Amino acid sequence: MRKGRKSELFSPQDKLIFLVENTKEYVIIVLDTKGKVEDWNKGAEHLLGYTQREIVGKNFSRFFTPEDRKAKRPENELKKAIQEGKGEDENWLVRQDGSWFWASGMTTPILDKVGNVIGFAKIVRDLTDKREIQQQQEDFISIASHELRTPLTIAKLLRDALGKHLKQTKDIEGIAYFEKISHALNQLDTLLRDLLSVGRMQTGKVDYEKEEFSLWDLTQDIVEEVQQTTNSHHIEIHGTKSARIYAYKPQISEVIINLLTNAIKYSPNEKKIIVTVSSAKKFVTVSIQDFGIGIAHQSIEKLFDRFYRTPLSREKGVPGVGLGLYISKKIIENHKGTLGVKSTVGKGSTFSFTLPFLSKRISSL
Ligand code: ADP
């Protein structure tokens, strides 16, 4: 009875205020238009270590690392919130005692009735534990893929020698086993290449330079190479021969190989694959069309996520791990381009990437 009467004293609004003030898992900070703290909740005190009195009136930039302050990250966060309606980010933040934590945050502008920005609300969550687990997984993938590279290279060399020997001795049964081993080694090779690329992407380290080259020549060379690995498909190539770009050539090769091998893998009953290179005034596009299993509409938005595989490809038992498209998209976006797909289930898919048609001089400006 007493309990019931007590809760009647709280309106839904009071309950919301109580929740915001007392929640410990989320930091909620109210900033003025310049980024000075106007108010904050218990969670902020708990996570950042300042009392309300110590922090009100101070600029929120003090929560950022010295590097981020130098790079004007706090100012940019507020600008982004105004321009895009919200700013989301993950980065290190600094507590009062100088220790750091990995924060996932969102900043939203607070508007008055006529739409003027009168301040900001910043919500932050501590994700240090999640970040550490992610880091351990990334380190493991990177070490494992490097360590597997050498024995795999040796196995491939021995495979080639064994292949020659079996052909000379005309050992039919041996050749059948050899082909199975060879197929498995190729799958392992693709998987390792993908894992190494993911590792490189995370560290941002590459051991080659950007160069200017013909996208037509590169695509044609890759089409010829891939054609030699398959009897089941015929790859046609059409288009503009003049398309030159300035890019990391090994990375662009990787994208084309990924898309072409997918086109083959996911069209087991159709022969034809069409590759088109086309150029507009400022952009050059490579499209790879297959007539295979296709991709359901609801799978398209997840297609470029790490480890995503469509239910259809699992059903059909096509082998893969779901890294190639994730890597390809990152590579193309790092070159300021776009990668997309159009597809119909049962009719096939066309993957296309577009890159700025840049000369060395322009892209290095
Ligand atoms: P993988 O092929 O190793 O699984 P990818 O990242 O290259 O990984 O592709 C992710 C998923 O997208 C595939 O598992 C498959 O479900 C789908 N996919 C990619 N290319 C095609 C294609 N040409 N046709 C149909 N589905 C495709």
DSSP 8-state assignment for residue 60: G
Beta-carbon contacts of 59 under 8 Å, excluding residues fewer than 6 positions away, are 34, 35, 36, 37, 74
CA distances from 129 to 132, 136, 306 (A): 5, 11, 21
Confidence band, pLDDT 50/70/90 cuts, at residue 190: confident
CB of 350 closer than 8 Å to CB of 342: yes
Half-sphere exposure of 72 (CA within 13 A, CB side): 5
C-beta of 320 in contact with ligand 1 (< 6 A) = yes
C-beta of 300 in contact with ligand 1 (< 6 A) = no
Residues in the chain: 365
Among 300, 314, 288, CA closest to 344: 300
CA distances from 327 to 209, 332, 343 (A): 19, 9, 20
CB of 21 closer than 8 Å to CB of 44: no
Count of Cβ atoms closer than 10 Å to residue 147 Cβ: 9
Beta-carbon contacts of 206 under 8 Å, excluding residues fewer than 6 positions away, are 200, 248, 251
Q: Phi first, then psi: what are they for 126, rounded to 5°?
A: -80, 115
pLDDT cut 70: percent of the chain above it: 94
pLDDT over 70 (residue 8): no
* CA-288 nearest atom, ligand 1: 23
> Ligand 1 centre from 322 Cα, in Å?
6
pLDDT over 50 (residue 1): no
pLDDT over 80 (residue 17): no
- What pLDDT shows up at residue 203? 65
Mean pLDDT of 320-327: 90
pLDDT over 90 (residue 200): no
> Ligand 1 centre from 284 Cα, in Å?
23
- What pLDDT shows up at residue 65? 93
> Ligand 1 centre from 264 Cα, in Å?
10
Q: Phi first, then psi: what are they for 130, rounded to 5°?
A: -60, -40
pLDDT over 90 (residue 195): no
> Ligand 1 centre from 154 Cα, in Å?
29
CA distances from 276 to 1, 252, 284, 345 (A): 76, 15, 10, 21
Q: Is residue 197 classed as helix, strand or coil in its secondary structure?
A: helix
Name the least confident of 199-208, 262-271, 275-284, 337-346. 199-208
For residue range 117-151, list pLDDT tens digits in order: 999 999 999 988 888 887 787 778 778 877 888 88
> Ligand 1 centre from 219 Cα, in Å?
20
Among 209, 277, 203, 276, CA closest to 246: 209
Beta-carbon contacts of 342 under 8 Å, excluding residues fewer than 6 positions away, are 349, 350, 352
CA distance 273 to 237: 9
User: How many Å separate Cα 192 from the centre of its chain?
Assistant: 18
User: Could you tell me the maximum CA-CA distance found in the chain, to the nearest angstrom?
Assistant: 94
Q: Phi first, then psi: what are they for 164, rounded to 5°?
A: -60, -45
DSSP 8-state assignment for residue 140: H
**Cα end-to-end distance, the chain, whole Å:** 74
Q: In the predicted model, what is the mean pLDDT of the chain? A: 87
C-beta of 287 in contact with ligand 1 (< 6 A) = no
CA distance 230 to 234: 8
CA distance 355 to 347: 27
**Probe residue for ligand 1, chosen from 190, 303, 312, 345 as the CB with the greatest number of ligand atoms within 8 Å:** 303
Confidence band, pLDDT 50/70/90 cuts, at residue 365: very low
Degrees, nearest 5: CA angle 151-153-159? 100
CA distance 274 to 289: 5
The pTM of the whole model exceeds 0.75: no
SS (H, E, C) 263-324: HHHCCCCCCEEEEEEEECCCEEEEEEEECCCCCCHHHHCCCCCCCCCCHHHHHCCCCCCCCH
- What pLDDT shows up at residue 4? 46
Name the least confident of 104-113, 187-196, 300-309. 187-196
* CA-293 nearest atom, ligand 1: 25
C-beta of 354 in contact with ligand 1 (< 6 A) = no
**Probe residue for ligand 1, chosen from 187, 301, 307, 313 as the CB with the greatest number of ligand atoms within 8 Å:** 313
CA distance 181 to 161: 13
For residue range 226-281, list pLDDT tens digits in order: 998 888 999 999 998 888 899 999 899 999 999 999 999 999 999 999 999 998 88
C-beta of 350 in contact with ligand 1 (< 6 A) = no
